[in-house]
Amino acid sequence: MPLSRVMTDDFIHATQLLRAGRFDEALGAFRLVYAGARANGNSDLMAAALGEMAWSCYRIGDPEQGLECALAARRLWQQQDNDVELARALAVAAMLYLDLGFSDQADASASQALALAIARDDAGMLAFALSARSLVLAACRQSARGARLVEQAVAIAAHQANPAGAAYYLLNLGICHAGLADEADAGAEPDRAARERATAIEVTAIAIQYAQHGGDVWTLRVALANNARLLALQGSTDAALVLLDQCADLLDQPGLLLQLLYLDTLSAVLLRAGRLQEARDSAVKAVQLADSGDQLEHQVSAAGRLAEILEALGDAPAALDQFKRYHALYVRQAASAAQRRARIEAIGLAIDVAAPGSADDDVPRRRRA
Q: Please check whether residue 128 lies inside any domain of the structure.
A: no
Q: Please check whether residue 362 lies inside any domain of the structure.
A: no
Q: Please check whether residue 208 lies inside any domain of the structure.
A: yes
Q: How many CB atoms lie within 10 A of CB 251?
A: 6
Average pLDDT of every residue of the chain: 89
CA 59-64-68 angle, 5° bins:
100
Whether residue 238 is found in the same domain as residue 279: no
pLDDT in tens, 89-126: 999 999 999 988 889 999 999 999 999 999 998 999 99
Whether residue 159 is found in the same domain as residue 213: yes
Whether residue 91 is found in the same domain as residue 14: yes
Supply the CATH number for residue 262's domain: 1.25.40.10
Amino acid at 67: L
Full domain range(s) for residue 277: 255-354
Q: State yes or no: pLDDT of 283 exceeds 90.
A: yes
Number of domains composing the chain: 3
pLDDT for res 353: 55
Q: Please check whether residue 273 lies inside any domain of the structure.
A: yes
Whether the Cβ atoms of residue 270 and residue 262 lie closer than 8 Å to each other = no
| DSSP one-letter code for 364 | S
Burial class (CB in 10 A: 0-12, 13-18, 19+), 209: middle
pLDDT in tens, 118-160: 999 899 999 999 999 999 999 999 999 999 999 999 999 999 9
pLDDT for res 297: 86
3-state secondary structure of 168: helix
Q: State yes or no: pLDDT of 225 exceeds 70.
A: yes
pLDDT for res 252: 76
Whether residue 44 is found in the same domain as residue 66: yes
Q: d(Cα 287, Cα 225) in Å, to the nearest integer?
A: 18
Higher pLDDT, 19 or 31: 31
pLDDT in tens, 181-222: 999 999 999 999 999 999 999 999 999 999 999 888 899 999
The mean pLDDT value for 227-239 works out to: 96
The mean pLDDT value for 295-311 works out to: 92
pLDDT for res 332: 87
CA 180-183-185 angle, 5° bins:
110
Out of 249, 273, 306, a domain closes at 249
pLDDT for res 366: 47
Q: Which long-range contacts (CB under 8 A, 24 or more apart) does 328-337 make?
A: 329/296, 329/299, 329/300, 329/303, 330/300, 332/296, 333/296, 333/297, 333/300, 336/296, 337/101
Out of 249, 271, 287, a domain closes at 249
Whether residue 201 is found in the same domain as residue 304: no
Whether residue 14 is found in the same domain as residue 59: yes
Q: Please check whether residue 217 lies inside any domain of the structure.
A: yes
Whether residue 291 is found in the same domain as residue 312: yes
Out of 217, 249, 281, a domain closes at 249
The mean pLDDT value for 27-37 works out to: 93
pLDDT for res 101: 86
Q: Please check whether residue 197 lies inside any domain of the structure.
A: yes
Q: Please check whether residue 210 lies inside any domain of the structure.
A: yes
Lowest mean pLDDT among 24-33, 63-72, 218-227, 290-299: 290-299
Q: Please check whether residue 369 lies inside any domain of the structure.
A: no
Q: State yes or no: pLDDT of 298 exceeds 50.
A: yes
Whether the Cβ atoms of residue 114 and residue 129 lie closer than 8 Å to each other = yes
Whether the Cβ atoms of residue 193 and residue 184 lie closer than 8 Å to each other = yes
